[in-house]
Amino acid sequence: MKQIITKTQIKVPFYDLDPMNIVWHGNYVKYLEEARCDFFSKLKYTYDDMYKDGIMYPIAKMDLKFIKSAKFGENLRVECILKELEPAIIIKYNIYSGEEKILTASTMQMAVSVNSGETVYNAPERLVKAIEDYDE
């Protein structure tokens, strides 16, 4: 499988801070989701396309390792690295503030049939093609 790495820029908004004036830990999940949506958009195969193909990809597993807290106004870079496609989409993430890595994470998304709700073990053909055709 072709390795794909995308980068998404996020500027930390004020409303993502906790009482200690650092990003509340739960908001990093939101940053991962924003980067993952951008990843699929760059592939030209979005969640809407998946749904049209009869597939949903809910998160089945998520791991996060917090290294350092982000603060208001920081410009973060989220890297998404496609690790596996079948039987599940596994993406690894690195979040950087400048050149400093502040978080590592991974997600596993299982394909589920929109109609039956049952697990599907093969990626949709259009997703496979989008990965093959991807050019940075």
pLDDT digits (tens, 9 = 90+) for 104-135: 999 999 999 999 999 999 999 999 999 999 98
Q: Are 60 and 84 in contact (CB under 8 A)?
A: no
Which residue segment(s) compose the domain that 29 sits in? 5-133
Sign for the CA dihedral angle at 9, 11, 13, 19 comes to positive
List the CATH number of the domain containing 12: 3.10.129.10
Give the integer Cα–Cα distance in Å for 70 and 46.
Answer: 28
Give the pair of three-digit tokens for residue 93: 């993430």
pLDDT of residue 73: 97
Which parts of the chain have pLDDT scores under 50? none
- How many structural domains is the chain composed of? 1
Q: What is the share, in percent, of the chain residues with pLDDT greater than 90?
A: 96
